[in-house]
A and B are shown apart, each in its own frame.
Chain A
């Protein structure tokens, strides 16, 4: 049991390697991928069942790696990473179900590598190990866009990689500096989060180093001003890659803020709070307004994703339990909604060979099931009550009001922002008269329903009984908040 997190991380990679090594046929590749993802899902459920919400960091596993520099292979799980872990494990089998008819082998291998990358990033407690996984997940995305994408795929692949690497480099520099500083103070090397967080840095250095991390996360999320890779990448990437980018990778930027931002720098982060909160509030509205006239569905929901991630980032910088709880909850529920909507857009593209809004319309007349799922996911993005997103937004709004009345009012505009583009989009996409592309639109088949129903079910469950999930992570964030407020108070 103690190696379970390693299995969870590396099972997909090992499956990919062994399947690739023997150059097996496609049908075995997809069965292999599916089985490995299901196995991972079961393991994650077992871990979750064994998880103690009050136990802080657990399932810790430390192995020496590069001993000379004190770099270790250190994994662990707490309430925050559990949310992300559950999410990844839940979504992967569904993505494979979506890809089932995909005939290019490379597609499958890349997805397996991607799963290892994102899972590893969530579970790493050593900064260099984290950095390794953080970069690992970029590689498959680069290939997925550059090789299997559409439109100006190579340019767009290059754009996302260059912009992301710019952030990664600044983070890498901060990591190395922290490690060196630790060596200078203690006389021995370590890159473990738990060690580096004990460092007492002078405020100036601390601000610079925190900035290095923040740049990486700001690009990943992306905050306004760091975002121009987003729409081209979402527009060009194949659907499974889009789902991973929006549902998981963007969320890792938020996760990073918590784990490493607050973990390493605690009160220094509040130095950046005004800037980031401003960017986040601007992003919340700016992306939403941008989305209104966007003619392409995937790009529209890229902006939509940016808008909601800005709101989540805002919540992370509002240091109270409501905002933090809401943000963490929003990570999960927004991932489900955006996975759902991007899968629907993928299915739409498969049928009509287009995802430009002006070519669409009237699908509701032919395909009631497709329409139901499409409208459901779209409305869940607009914060439909009864879905988890409503709960999350409500909590963040309340957290914002606890901070400051005007921040609260600006945050509450999320009630209005999503509807600006969602409803007009629905009108032109699924309702109204049909078009050449949507004539005789084929309704969903059994496999497609099988992939969508779990997402709908989970969105409803998270919306109707949030009290089932919140206790999983509440003690963790409550404890972190207490620490944080003490450290701010201690200054």
Chain B
């Protein structure tokens, strides 16, 4: 059974390699081959994941499947195997990654069908699937880090997929670099942890068993540094600026990688290290605070964007902020639950947006849309469901997962965080309905020849709409008459805080009220007619320009580095190092000139040298004789 874990990871990699080889050998026109090989990989991995999930569902909560593929590095005590493990947390991740992955592969087969680099796309797409599954299944943090880096790589390749435009490559570079800054923290954390535990095996299980022997300050340091990694991958303040730009990639990529899966890796990582973070709750509170700031900040920006994909990108960042609030405050199962439901509705929103973009011949500005519900009925209905879900309207999925997070923030006594999160809930409903109303209602434009979307693109929307509507029912808590099935299945070591049912009802009511206020505002402002925002006041223009953070980073980091680079060449090397060398050279030359002057061919000079020589030698001899 456990050997299936190897295949779950291996199949997408094999499929990527096979498609890559075929593509490079030049057999480029055969779409059918790529479609089948491309979709088969996540499908098979998904089926195997279901087996694994079934097995874990039937056994007790602490059963963990292990399998070692082969020994990777063994040097001194650094003994790392390519090994996989699956517990219930893994099973949940596996399920939605492969399920949504398969749907988006099918969708992509429609979306990308006219692209001449079709094969390359699916090769990269499955490279991503393999990397993500490697990250999720890793038995030790080092292999997790390998997967972590590889998802960054595949994200780079896919963001820069339309490589003729330098702008897209820039976006890809930005994504990879900021992710690497996070990875820098991650690798320091792992090294420190390894050295602290040197001599013991370095697997999650063994770290968990030995964590008690470590100093709390060391654990806090490791926890902070790991979170730096998460900031990069999951686009949190201050490493978030790559995510909006990442929308340069094809829309299926935005849906799968930059919404549903890769960006949630940071949340998964914190949950995976829950045993570590439970030792240092103060680090967790810092994580929650960053999450709350990111959530609010991104929601603010999203409210003023005009590009449909950028709105969704900031929305993703904002929702990721919620997830970090949860895992930071020790409500791991709520955090993962939100990861789970978010994957459905956010993938759906992106795929719907992609359908709109295709229908309007690559128009992404929502203010050039409007009234589309008459033309794109199915897309409208499904996106409406997703919008209800993300806004937290019961009984759609987002309500339950978000409600649990807000309850956890309130119950843990972090009222500042709770208030920011509640405000964000209102903004979420506002910017999402703003988008929905502008695109599908508002005053219609005249559209010429809207193409009929292929079934490959529309059916996945329907499936995801069902998921967005009902996935929340898996985790209804006691207050609403459920049994909190998700949390008890996933069995993470939550630091739980009890709330009375009454308090939960009140919080739930407040959330719905907030969502309705947001929706109402959006309706009033945008349902009938919509004008593109103009930055006429200071604050408006500040928000519209995303608080000038990109420009700040550019000035502070990019330009400084370039200036240093020029300086190192022109000043340090040419003037400094070579300057010293040239001193030697010119000294040598001067000495040469001096000697030529001495050796001038005039006999009386030579006689003088001989005389001087004899004088010196006599003095020396005298000296020696006296010594004797």
Using CB atoms and an 8 Å cutoff, list the residues of chain A in contact with chain B.
163, 225, 227-228, 286, 289-294, 320-322, 325-326, 361-362, 364-365, 368-369, 372, 379, 384-386, 390-391, 394-395, 397-398, 400-402, 405, 408-409, 412-413, 415-416, 419-420, 423-424, 426-428, 430-433, 464-467, 470-471, 474, 478
Is B536 part of the contact surface with A, judged by Cβ < 8 Å? no
Whether the pair A423, B187 counts as a contact (CB closer than 8 A) is: no
Interchain residue pairs with CB less than 8 A apart (22): A290-B568, A294-B569, A322-B78, A325-B76, A362-B164, A364-B163, A384-B153, A385-B150, A401-B191, A408-B188, A412-B187, A412-B188, A415-B183, A415-B184, A415-B187, A426-B169, A427-B169, A431-B164, A431-B169, A432-B164, A432-B169, A467-B74
Q: Which of B142, B163, B173 contacts A424 (CB 8 A)?
A: B173
Is B192 part of the contact surface with A, judged by Cβ < 8 Å? yes
Is B598 part of the contact surface with A, judged by Cβ < 8 Å? no
A430–B565 alpha-carbon span in the complex (Å) = 22
Q: Which of A227, A401, A408, A419 contacts B577 (CB 8 A)?
A: A227
A326–B177 alpha-carbon span in the complex (Å) = 24
Whether the pair A289, B194 counts as a contact (CB closer than 8 A) is: no
Whether the pair B166, A433 counts as a contact (CB closer than 8 A) is: yes
Whether the pair B166, A427 counts as a contact (CB closer than 8 A) is: yes
Write out the residue numbers on chain A whose beta carbons fall within 8 Å of the beta carbon of B112. Answer: none
Min CB distance A215 to B, Å, is 14
A471–B71 alpha-carbon span in the complex (Å) = 12
Min CB distance A456 to B, Å, is 11
Residues of chain B from 160 to 211 with CB closer than 8 A to chain A in the complex: 160, 163-166, 169-170, 172-173, 176-177, 180-181, 183-184, 187-188, 191-192, 194-195, 198
The residue in B146, B184, B192, B569 that gathers the most chain A C-beta atoms within 10 A of its C-beta is B569
Is B564 part of the contact surface with A, judged by Cβ < 8 Å? yes
Whether the pair B70, A398 counts as a contact (CB closer than 8 A) is: no
A198–B569 alpha-carbon span in the complex (Å) = 45
Contact A465-B70, Cβ < 8 Å, known A412-B188, A474-B75 = yes
Q: Which residue of B lies closest to A403 (CB)?
A: B195
Is B64 part of the contact surface with A, judged by Cβ < 8 Å? no
Q: Which residue of B lies closest to A443 (CB)?
A: B26
The residue in A289, A369, A400, A424 that gathers the most chain B C-beta atoms within 10 A of its C-beta is A289
A465–B80 alpha-carbon span in the complex (Å) = 11
A431–B78 alpha-carbon span in the complex (Å) = 39
A240–B71 alpha-carbon span in the complex (Å) = 36
Q: Which residue of A lies closest to B24 (CB)?
A: A369
Write out the residue numbers on chain A whose beta carbons fall within 8 Å of the beta carbon of B564. Answer: 289
A362–B162 alpha-carbon span in the complex (Å) = 11
Q: Which residue of A lies closest to B569 (CB)?
A: A290
A107–B176 alpha-carbon span in the complex (Å) = 41
Q: Which residue of B lies closest to A295 (CB)?
A: B569
Whether the pair B150, A402 counts as a contact (CB closer than 8 A) is: no
Whether the pair A293, B166 counts as a contact (CB closer than 8 A) is: no
Write out the residue numbers on chain B whose beta carbons fall within 8 Å of the beta carbon of A369. Answer: 24
Is B293 part of the contact surface with A, judged by Cβ < 8 Å? no
The residue in B76, B145, B564, B572 that gathers the most chain A C-beta atoms within 10 A of its C-beta is B76
Using CB atoms and an 8 Å cutoff, list the residues of chain B in contact with chain A.
20, 23-24, 70-76, 78, 120, 142, 145-146, 149-150, 153, 160, 163-166, 169-170, 172-173, 176-177, 180-181, 183-184, 187-188, 191-192, 194-195, 198, 561-562, 564-566, 568-569, 572-573, 577-578, 581
A391–B565 alpha-carbon span in the complex (Å) = 28
Q: Which residue of B lies closest to A286 (CB)?
A: B568
Min CB distance B594 to A, Å, is 21
Write out the residue numbers on chain B whose beta carbons fall within 8 Å of the beta carbon of A361. Answer: 166
Whether the pair A431, B163 counts as a contact (CB closer than 8 A) is: yes
Write out the residue numbers on chain A whose beta carbons fall within 8 Å of the beta carbon of B172. Answer: 423
Whether the pair A293, B566 counts as a contact (CB closer than 8 A) is: yes
Whether the pair B76, A322 counts as a contact (CB closer than 8 A) is: yes
Q: Which residue of B lies closest to A361 (CB)?
A: B166
Whether the pair A291, B565 counts as a contact (CB closer than 8 A) is: yes
Q: Which of B70, B192, B566, B568 contacts A405 (CB 8 A)?
A: B192
A394–B141 alpha-carbon span in the complex (Å) = 13
Q: Which of A405, A416, A466 contacts B181 (CB 8 A)?
A: A416
Write out the residue numbers on chain A whose beta carbons fall within 8 Å of the beta carbon of B187. Answer: 394, 397, 412, 415
Contact A431-B150, Cβ < 8 Å, known A286-B568, A466-B72 = no
Whether the pair A408, B73 counts as a contact (CB closer than 8 A) is: no
Write out the residue numbers on chain B whose beta carbons fall within 8 Å of the beta carbon of A386. Answer: 146, 150
Min CB distance B358 to A, Å, is 23
Min CB distance B376 to A, Å, is 33
Whether the pair A467, B71 counts as a contact (CB closer than 8 A) is: yes
Q: Which of B149, B163, B566, B568 contacts A385 (CB 8 A)?
A: B149
Whether the pair B164, A395 counts as a contact (CB closer than 8 A) is: no
Q: Which residue of B lies closest to A379 (CB)?
A: B153
The residue in B181, B184, B568 that gathers the most chain A C-beta atoms within 10 A of its C-beta is B568
Write out the residue numbers on chain A whose beta carbons fall within 8 Å of the beta carbon of B180. Answer: 415-416, 419
A415–B578 alpha-carbon span in the complex (Å) = 30
A413–B180 alpha-carbon span in the complex (Å) = 10
Whether the pair A467, B561 counts as a contact (CB closer than 8 A) is: no
Whether the pair B578, A228 counts as a contact (CB closer than 8 A) is: yes
A464–B170 alpha-carbon span in the complex (Å) = 30
Known: A401-B192, A413-B184, A424-B173. 7 other contacts (CB 8 A): A368-B120, A384-B153, A395-B78, A416-B184, A427-B166, A432-B169, A467-B74
Q: Which of A385, A397, A430, A432 contacts B165 (CB 8 A)?
A: A432
Write out the residue numbers on chain A whose beta carbons fall within 8 Å of the beta carbon of B565. Answer: 289-294
Contact A467-B70, Cβ < 8 Å, known A228-B573, A412-B184 = yes
Q: Which 5 pairs from chain A and chain B are nearest by CB?
A: A432-B166, A321-B76, A293-B565, A292-B565, A401-B191
Write out the residue numbers on chain B whose beta carbons fall within 8 Å of the beta carbon of A432. Answer: 163-166, 169
Write out the residue numbers on chain A whose beta carbons fall within 8 Å of the beta carbon of B568. Answer: 286, 289-290
A14–B220 alpha-carbon span in the complex (Å) = 64
A362–B198 alpha-carbon span in the complex (Å) = 48
Write out the residue numbers on chain B whose beta carbons fall within 8 Å of the beta carbon of A428. Answer: 166
A163–B120 alpha-carbon span in the complex (Å) = 48
Q: Which residue of A lies closest to B76 (CB)?
A: A321
Whether the pair A470, B160 counts as a contact (CB closer than 8 A) is: no
A463–B569 alpha-carbon span in the complex (Å) = 34
Min CB distance A261 to B, Å, is 22
Min CB distance B402 to A, Å, is 35
Write out the residue numbers on chain B whose beta carbons fall within 8 Å of the beta carbon of A365. Answer: 163-164
Whether the pair B561, A408 counts as a contact (CB closer than 8 A) is: no
Write out the residue numbers on chain A whose beta carbons fall within 8 Å of the beta carbon of B164. Answer: 362, 364-365, 431-433
A400–B74 alpha-carbon span in the complex (Å) = 17
Whether the pair A293, B569 counts as a contact (CB closer than 8 A) is: yes
Whether the pair A409, B188 counts as a contact (CB closer than 8 A) is: yes
Write out the residue numbers on chain A whose beta carbons fall within 8 Å of the beta carbon of B165. Answer: 432-433
Whether the pair B23, A427 counts as a contact (CB closer than 8 A) is: no
Q: Which of A326, A362, A372 contacts B24 (CB 8 A)?
A: A372
Whether the pair B562, A293 counts as a contact (CB closer than 8 A) is: yes
Q: Which residue of A lies closest to B23 (CB)?
A: A368
Q: Which residue of B lies closest to A229 (CB)?
A: B581
Q: Which residue of A lies closest to B578 (CB)?
A: A228
Min CB distance A427 to B, Å, is 4
A432–B71 alpha-carbon span in the complex (Å) = 41
Min CB distance B174 to A, Å, is 9
Whether the pair A419, B177 counts as a contact (CB closer than 8 A) is: yes
The residue in A362, A365, A394, A478 that gathers the most chain B C-beta atoms within 10 A of its C-beta is A394
Whether the pair A228, B577 counts as a contact (CB closer than 8 A) is: yes
Write out the residue numbers on chain B whose beta carbons fall within 8 Å of the beta carbon of A290. Answer: 565, 568-569, 573
Q: Which residue of A lies closest to B566 (CB)?
A: A293
Min CB distance B97 to A, Å, is 19
Whether the pair B75, A395 counts as a contact (CB closer than 8 A) is: yes
A397–B191 alpha-carbon span in the complex (Å) = 7
Contact A398-B153, Cβ < 8 Å, known A322-B78, A325-B76, A368-B23 = no
Q: Which residue of B lies closest to A418 (CB)?
A: B180
A427–B248 alpha-carbon span in the complex (Å) = 15
Write out the residue numbers on chain B whose beta carbons fall within 8 Å of the beta carbon of A430. Answer: 163
Min CB distance B300 to A, Å, is 30
Whether the pair B170, A427 counts as a contact (CB closer than 8 A) is: yes
Q: Which of B75, B145, B173, B573 contacts A427 (CB 8 A)?
A: B173
